């Protein structure tokens, strides 16, 4: 054995054949702005209408929320993710008390250093149902890294953002805007969407169980497991949430709102609304409009 053989004895020689370059398919560079965990109180969560200046990605940790992308209203539940693009008019209104979500804000730049403000033209493609746990962990990793702010945290944060963006692009490439979960979870998500879109309809456990091919006990158990509350309570809270929106954002009469939401009379609507919010609907409208007016005056004075 010569000296060279002795030197290499017992070692594994690795030979690199003609090297293959890995193309970077995702060419956007995120510039991180902020991250936080937002919580509602017993009255829920309501953020006024505004024009988005940067990307905002939201992961729902608990509860459900309705949000606007311009004039399109959509609904997100626990485990869902959605995002708002720069330039879109945006508003959020929770459909349950003590809602909790992670928000993540950033800008995107292409390889030339120019802003990229649109990932999709389709508003419905900005909502992703029951996303994988790894996406939740990516959001929380950004939050934890920002809190610790240790050496290299910005690179880790932007890597996590890129992971989320690649997930979005993969869904677009497969033309699938929803991620499958277990069969009962899919059914519950579909039921929640139906209630959100037709909240004034008359629902019962038996009618929904029959429609979605589930037993009543399975539906009741699965719905409470996913949402944390019984089905009928969820429906009542969704109706109150819609009433809150109409009282704060429209001039619809109490009679119109009560009829649209399936209440038999205005007096019954008033009684249920006060039971859930602590205020009669007409007083709620005066209070919330007063808050918006005061906020607008403060912003005008600041300008």
Weakest mean pLDDT among 10-19, 54-63, 269-278, 279-288: 10-19
pLDDT tens across 114-158, in order? 899 989 888 888 999 888 999 999 999 999 999 999 999 999 999
DSSP string covering 185-242, please? HHHHHHHHHHHHHTTTS---HHHHHHHTT--HHHHHHHHHHHHSS-HHHHHHHHHHHH
pLDDT tens across 245-294, in order? 888 878 899 999 999 999 989 999 999 999 988 889 999 888 877 654 45
pLDDT tens across 98-110, in order? 788 999 999 998 8
- Three-class secondary structure of residue 124 per DSSP: helix
CA distance 292 to 288: 6
**Averaged confidence pLDDT in the chain:** 81
| DSSP-derived secondary structure letter, 217 | H
Q: How far is CA 273 from CA 106, 223, 226, 264, in A?
A: 38, 23, 25, 13
Instruction: With beta carbons less than 8 A apart as the criterion, state whether 30 and 107 touch.
Output: yes
Contacts of 192 (CB under 8 A, 6+ apart): 64, 75, 77, 227, 234
40 vs 301, higher pLDDT: 40
CA distance 82 to 74: 10
pLDDT tens across 202-228, in order? 999 999 999 989 999 999 988 887 777
Per-residue pLDDT, 215:
92
Confidence check: pLDDT of 19 > 60? no
- Assign 8 a pLDDT band (cuts: 50, 70, 90): very low
Backbone angles phi and psi of 61, in degrees to 5: -80, -35
Confidence check: pLDDT of 27 > 80? no
């Amino acid at each position: 054995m010569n000296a060279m053989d002795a030197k290499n004895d017992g070692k594994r020689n690795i030979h690199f054949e003609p090297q293959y370059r890995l193309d970077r398919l995702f060419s956007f560079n995120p510039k991180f702005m902020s991250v936080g965990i937002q919580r509602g109180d017993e009255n829920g969560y309501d953020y006024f209408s505004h024009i988005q200046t940067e990307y905002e990605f939201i992961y729902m940790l608990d509860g459900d929320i309705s949000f606007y992308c311009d004039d399109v209203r959509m609904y997100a539940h626990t485990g869902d993710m959605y995002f708002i693009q720069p330039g879109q008019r945006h508003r959020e209104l929770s459909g349950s008390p003590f809602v909790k979500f992670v928000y993540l804000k950033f800008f995107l730049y292409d390889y030339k250093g120019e802003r990229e403000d649109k990932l999709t033209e389709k508003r419905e493609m900005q909502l992703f149902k029951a996303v994988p746990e790894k996406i939740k962990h990516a959001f929380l990793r950004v939050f934890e890294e920002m809190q610790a702010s240790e050496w290299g945290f910005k690179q880790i944060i932007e890597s996590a953002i890129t992971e989320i963006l690649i997930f979005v692009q993969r869904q677009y490439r497969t033309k699938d805007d929803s991620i499958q979960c277990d069969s009962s979870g899919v059914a519950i998500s579909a039921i929640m969407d139906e209630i959100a879109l037709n909240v004034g309809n008359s629902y019962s456990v038996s009618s929904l169980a029959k429609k979605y091919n589930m037993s009543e006990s399975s539906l009741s158990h699965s719905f409470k497991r996913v949402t944390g509350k019984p089905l009928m309570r969820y429906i009542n809270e969704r109706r109150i949430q819609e009433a809150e929106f109409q009282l704060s954002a429209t001039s619809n009469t109490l009679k119109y709102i009560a009829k649209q939401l399936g209440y038999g009379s205005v007096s019954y609507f008033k009684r249920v609304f006060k039971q859930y919010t602590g205020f009669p609907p007409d007083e709620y409208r005066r209070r919330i409009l007063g808050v918006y007016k005061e906020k607008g005056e403060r912003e005008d004075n600041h300008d």
